[in-house]
Chain A
Amino acid sequence: MKKLLVLAAALTLGSSMAAPFVWPAKWSADAPSAAKSGGEFRNYTLSDFKTVNPFTSAEATSIPGTMALPGDGLFTQDPTTDEFIPHMADGMPAVSNGGKRFVVKIRQGMKFSDGQAITADDWITTYKIHTDDKVGSNSYDSFFINDKPITVKKLDDYTLQFDFPQTSAEAYATMSYNPWPDHIFGAAYRKGGADAVKALWGLNVDPKTVVSPGPFVLSGYSAGQRAVFRKNPYYGEWNKDSAGKSLPYLDGYSFRIVKDLNAGLASYLAGDIDTYGPRNADDLAQIKKAIDAKTLNATLIANVSPAASSQWITFNWNKADSPFKQKLFRDTRFRHAMSMLANRDAMVQLALGGLGVPTYYSVYPVFKGFINDSAPKYPYNLDGAAKLLAQMGFTKKGSDGVLVDSKGNKLEFTLTTNAGNTTREQLGRIFADEAKKIGVKVNFNPIDFNVLVGQLQSKGESRPFDAILLGLSGGTNIWPYGVNVVPCGTDLHSYNNPTNGACATSQEQLMTKLFYQGQSTVDLKAREAIGSQLLKTEAELQPVIYLVGGSYHVTYNNRLGGQHPRDLMDSYYGSRELPLTFIK
């Protein structure tokens, strides 16, 4: 009965004829009147495309991810407020069952690039394929909360019902997956299962058979060279700018595959590509020089925001083979002291060429809403570090200048990172040099990346490392804590991972609890409050010492228009919305 009432309510809510989605004018720095239709935006990517198939695709820049953008789902995140707003949905959902059931009306009149209507069946099929573990989809995890599945049901051709096993902060993100055509993937899946789906749309697919729900559709791919997209004409029927003009403005979009970044820079300087991601001061200087010399007509904005990635040092709490080190690494005073040894300003200057910010927390500084300024920081302070170590009994130095305790244990440990990452190698050297000044001996040792990851993820009472310097990236501003990082016993709970996965401290227990609490809190403000408490606990415990974060820079050829206003640009939302981009 209750179900029926909800359904009736949902139907009345969405019964009016669907209107197009209007892209807010505030998302673009240019007024709609300035926008012109036509032209091609020439982008570049570093790694070759691997597939056209949306279910097996795993790369950061992918062909399916370009045809249907992250926002081409039921809901999209508004970069001005971080809130989700309906995109392919006709309105916000009817929520019931204590915030666990969402009944969503689908916007009517949407079509795939082959002209077929986009309906509930497409979402159902896409969901089924993503959650088939034989397909190996990258989105598999997003349809489960603590191993319990989220279910999707079709109520009618234009109504979907999502049931969550518990309330979820990620609910809107979870529901916002791209729908792929049932008439292609569903048909194959019903006939040949996972294998039939995986066999579809390899790189040698005939582009004429590729169908997209998003603004662009593949028109050609040449192996290792470029992928070219053309406008999906049906997208403009339900996507309009604030003046009522159809989107996208562009006729075409293309990616050049550039393996060598110097060659990529050269192509940008020559005007062969329209945008570039400057890595360092050298890149910025070269672009600036070309702009000043008027050989390149482009815009360059340095230090737009911090990058969405982190660099940190973690200490191993599971060292049953060395009781001294285990006790040392588990002592909060020791980790506070180590944070004070990190000369973050020098790291920014020397390792990042001045282009970065010191960091103290696991949350990337770009997610401002989740940064709690009252959480403790342990900035560079050699005297402070020496005092803390003295409290722990390290008052004397041996003949080699290394601190020893009363039992003659030397304050010495090995710090490893992945060899070949020059930034991390420099961070490690700076840390070791500073540590040496107060008598802490750090044996800095870059090793093979895969060995390092194996060590970091090892479980047990005696794990094979002292300290590791590494970085992580990925995550959203919805709940910027990793499901695989914070809770005890998970794979990236790097500092403490005994066989039974138990927490070693009450703070870890609290953090685990707060993590799940935040994960299930739908309201953004309430979630931010929980996050703030989590951040404070984490900062006090300092299980991981956060060092520095790089900066995000933006540069683009002035023939492009429609970028974000300056205050909307950041490493999370990027510098532009593709449908609002135009060629002047």
Chain B
Amino acid sequence: MLIFLLRRLLNLLPTFLIASIMVFVIIYLAPGDFLTPARLNPGISAQQIENLSRSFGLDKPWYVQYFNWMNNMLHGNLGLSFSYQQPVLDVAWPRVLNSLKLVLVNLVLFYGISIPLGVYGAVRQYSLGDRVSGVFFYVLLGFPSFFLALLTIFGILRLRQLTGWHIPLGGMTSDNHDTLSFLGRTWDTLQHLLAPALVLAIINVAGFTRVLRGQMLENLRSDYIRTARSKGVPERSVIYRHTLRNAIIPFVADVGNILPGLIGGAGFVEVVFSYPGITPMLLDSLNSQDFYLIAAFSILPMILLFIGNALSDILLTLVDPRIRFS
């Protein structure tokens, strides 16, 4: 297993190198730079633009900037963000943690809703509940996530105006967050996470549920299930221990994509809910052409993809007895 993971790491190096050069070239090819908006300021002189350009290192050709960056990377330094004038990692890391919280709650909700629904749909195929939930979630599947998020916000606003309940409209914590006890803080954060996480989750429920339902149906018809049933295994055990465990294997293989997907996935929902995750910062950095911040956000998913894939390999060995890395 360890050798397998090490080999994986070695494979990553050339990929990483090529990807990093591509990121750099693409950002460099994009017209303008971090100082473009400043050039439109009637009060800033050409001399000052030149000073800034020099102090940001923007006056050097891309390959010089790239080698400096690579060199810094090897020393564990992702460079300085232009707009924050701070090390990129210091600026980005809190956002990564925030996004992880959101996506974790989203995953719990997502699997909490879609696995039971998929199982129910297979066991009670064509029942009223199966059809209604199918139609409902398919309709939601067609909504862009940011639009559903906006609808949710205005729904909460109406509810607040009508009932006076204090339901959070956005953000990650309340104003008095710092004064709360540990439990209070956790509950406060969870309250803020619930709406965006739910929006993210239900958008994707339809797809997953339908595929799981299909997998379950296929497995339910297979010989080993018939054998199990004829041997008198209780129905509950047949469904959850035997069928579900096999039906879920293709999804486990896909776990590797979840981690990097977290970054793109929480996306516009974070923006609409004013949630301080990665996406709002990434959009800002793209907008302002904050070179090293963009580079970091492009490199991070690659590392996450590696970790995610390694994780899914390990998980596969746990759920699928046929897979061994020895």
The digit string for B263-278, where 1 denotes a CB below 8 A from any CB of A, is 0000000111110110
Please pick, from A138, A226, A290, the residue contacting B171 in the complex, using a CB distance under 8 A: A226
The answer to whether A260 and B274 have CB atoms under 8 Å apart is: yes
Quote the shortest CB–CB distance from B56 to chain A (angstroms). Answer: 8
Quote the shortest CB–CB distance from A250 to chain B (angstroms). Answer: 15
The answer to whether B31 and A451 have CB atoms under 8 Å apart is: yes
The digit string for A213-248, where 1 denotes a CB below 8 A from any CB of B, is 000000010111110100000000000000000000
The answer to whether A266 and B85 have CB atoms under 8 Å apart is: no
A138 CA / B270 CA spacing, docked (Å): 31
In the complex, whether A53 has a CB less than 8 A from a CB of chain B is yes
The answer to whether B91 and A203 have CB atoms under 8 Å apart is: yes
| Residues of B30-56 contacting chain A, CB below 8 A | 30-33, 36-49, 51-52, 55-56
Q: Point out the residues of chain B lying under 8 angstroms from A258, CB to CB.
A: 170, 274
A475 CA / B43 CA spacing, docked (Å): 7
A492 CA / B172 CA spacing, docked (Å): 42
In the complex, whether B223 has a CB less than 8 A from a CB of chain A is no
A485 CA / B46 CA spacing, docked (Å): 12
The digit string for A475-499, where 1 denotes a CB below 8 A from any CB of B, is 1000000111100001110000000
In the complex, whether A269 has a CB less than 8 A from a CB of chain B is yes
The answer to whether A140 and B85 have CB atoms under 8 Å apart is: no
The answer to whether B42 and A475 have CB atoms under 8 Å apart is: yes
| Residues of A36-58 contacting chain B, CB below 8 A | 42, 47-48, 50-51, 53, 56, 58
Q: Point out the residues of chain B lying under 8 angstroms from A269, CB to CB.
A: 157, 161
The digit string for A117-148, where 1 denotes a CB below 8 A from any CB of B, is 00000000000000001111010110010010
A453 CA / B34 CA spacing, docked (Å): 12
A254 CA / B177 CA spacing, docked (Å): 14
Please pick, from B30, B90, B160, B161, the residue contacting A450 in the complex, using a CB distance under 8 A: B30
In the complex, whether B284 has a CB less than 8 A from a CB of chain A is yes
In chain A, what residue has the closest Cβ to B40?
A453
In the complex, whether B144 has a CB less than 8 A from a CB of chain A is no
In the complex, whether B235 has a CB less than 8 A from a CB of chain A is no
In the complex, whether B143 has a CB less than 8 A from a CB of chain A is no
In chain B, what residue has the closest Cβ to A133?
B51
The answer to whether B84 and A254 have CB atoms under 8 Å apart is: no
The answer to whether B42 and A483 have CB atoms under 8 Å apart is: yes
The digit string for A185-215, where 1 denotes a CB below 8 A from any CB of B, is 0000000000000100011100000000000
Known pairs A203-B91, A492-B42; A51 contacts B86 (CB<8 A)? yes
In the complex, whether B153 has a CB less than 8 A from a CB of chain A is yes
A74 CA / B91 CA spacing, docked (Å): 35
In chain B, what residue has the closest Cβ to A140?
B48
The answer to whether A134 and B55 have CB atoms under 8 Å apart is: yes
Known pairs A224-B276, A258-B170; A453 contacts B39 (CB<8 A)? yes
Q: Point out the residues of chain B lying under 8 angstroms from A569, CB to CB.
A: none
Q: Point out the residues of chain B lying under 8 angstroms from A504, CB to CB.
A: none
Q: Point out the residues of chain B lying under 8 angstroms from A262, CB to CB.
A: 150, 153, 272
In chain B, what residue has the closest Cβ to A132?
B51
The answer to whether A474 and B43 have CB atoms under 8 Å apart is: yes
The answer to whether A450 and B284 have CB atoms under 8 Å apart is: no
A449 CA / B274 CA spacing, docked (Å): 26
In chain A, what residue has the closest Cβ to B44?
A141
Total B residues in contact with A, Cβ cutoff 8 Å: 58
A269 CA / B172 CA spacing, docked (Å): 19
A202 CA / B98 CA spacing, docked (Å): 20
In the complex, whether A263 has a CB less than 8 A from a CB of chain B is yes
A47 CA / B284 CA spacing, docked (Å): 8
Quote the shortest CB–CB distance from B157 to chain A (angstroms). Answer: 5
Known pairs A141-B44, A198-B85; A259 contacts B31 (CB<8 A)? no
| Residues of B151-181 contacting chain A, CB below 8 A | 153-154, 156-157, 160-161, 169-173, 175, 177-178
In the complex, whether A577 has a CB less than 8 A from a CB of chain B is no
Known pairs A449-B32, A451-B32; A223 contacts B154 (CB<8 A)? no
The answer to whether A454 and B161 have CB atoms under 8 Å apart is: no
A267 CA / B272 CA spacing, docked (Å): 12
The answer to whether B41 and A474 have CB atoms under 8 Å apart is: yes
In chain B, what residue has the closest Cβ to A447?
B31
A290 CA / B280 CA spacing, docked (Å): 29
In the complex, whether A424 has a CB less than 8 A from a CB of chain B is no
In the complex, whether B95 has a CB less than 8 A from a CB of chain A is yes
In the complex, whether A529 has a CB less than 8 A from a CB of chain B is no
Known pairs A448-B31, A472-B42; A272 contacts B55 (CB<8 A)? no
Quote the shortest CB–CB distance from A192 to chain B (angstroms). Answer: 15
Instruction: Decide if the interface of chain B is mainly helix, strand, loop or mixed.
Output: helix
In the complex, whether B83 has a CB less than 8 A from a CB of chain A is yes
Quote the shortest CB–CB distance from B312 to chain A (angstroms). Answer: 30
The answer to whether B43 and A484 have CB atoms under 8 Å apart is: yes
Known pairs A475-B43, A483-B45; A223 contacts B98 (CB<8 A)? yes
Q: Point out the residues of chain B lying under 8 angstroms from A449, CB to CB.
A: 32, 36
A198 CA / B272 CA spacing, docked (Å): 33
The answer to whether B42 and A295 have CB atoms under 8 Å apart is: no
The answer to whether B272 and A256 have CB atoms under 8 Å apart is: no
In chain A, what residue has the closest Cβ to B283?
A259
Please pick, from B48, B85, B280, B289, the residue contacting A48 in the complex, using a CB distance under 8 A: B280
The digit string for B84-110, where 1 denotes a CB below 8 A from any CB of A, is 111000110011001000000000000
Q: Point out the residues of chain A lying under 8 angstroms from B248, CB to CB.
A: none
Quote the shortest CB–CB distance from B292 to chain A (angstroms). Answer: 14
In the complex, whether B252 has a CB less than 8 A from a CB of chain A is no
In the complex, whether B239 has a CB less than 8 A from a CB of chain A is no
The answer to whether B43 and A136 have CB atoms under 8 Å apart is: no
Q: Point out the residues of chain B lying under 8 angstroms from A48, CB to CB.
A: 276, 280-281, 284
In chain A, what residue has the closest Cβ to B53?
A136
Q: Point out the residues of chain A lying under 8 angstroms from B150, CB to CB.
A: 262-263
Q: Point out the residues of chain A lying under 8 angstroms from B37, CB to CB.
A: 453
Quote the shortest CB–CB distance from A383 to chain B (angstroms). Answer: 35
Quote the shortest CB–CB distance from B144 to chain A (angstroms). Answer: 14
Q: Point out the residues of chain A lying under 8 angstroms from B173, CB to CB.
A: 222, 225
In chain B, what residue has the closest Cβ to A53?
B85
Known pairs A259-B274, A474-B42; A223 contacts B36 (CB<8 A)? no
Residue from A270, A448, A449, A450 with most neighbouring chain B CB atoms (10 Å): A270
In chain A, what residue has the closest Cβ to B84?
A50
A-B contact pairs, 10 of them (CB 8 A): A50-B84, A56-B85, A224-B95, A224-B276, A256-B274, A263-B169, A453-B39, A474-B43, A482-B42, A483-B42
Closest 6 CB pairs of A and B: A450-B32, A482-B42, A224-B276, A223-B94, A450-B31, A133-B51
Taking beta carbons and an 8 Å cutoff, which residues of A are in contact with B?
Answer: 42, 47-48, 50-51, 53, 56, 58, 133-136, 138, 140-141, 144, 147, 198, 202-204, 220, 222-226, 228, 254, 256-260, 262-264, 266-267, 269-270, 272, 290, 293, 295, 448-451, 453-454, 456-457, 470, 472, 474-475, 482-485, 490-492
Contacts A269-B161, A491-B46 known; 18 new A-B pairs at CB < 8 A: A48-B276, A136-B52, A141-B45, A202-B85, A203-B86, A224-B277, A224-B281, A256-B171, A257-B274, A262-B153, A263-B272, A266-B169, A266-B170, A270-B161, A270-B169, A450-B33, A453-B36, A491-B39
Taking beta carbons and an 8 Å cutoff, which residues of B are in contact with A?
Answer: 30-33, 36-49, 51-52, 55-56, 83-86, 90-91, 94-95, 98, 150, 153-154, 156-157, 160-161, 169-173, 175, 177-178, 270-274, 276-277, 280-281, 283-284, 289
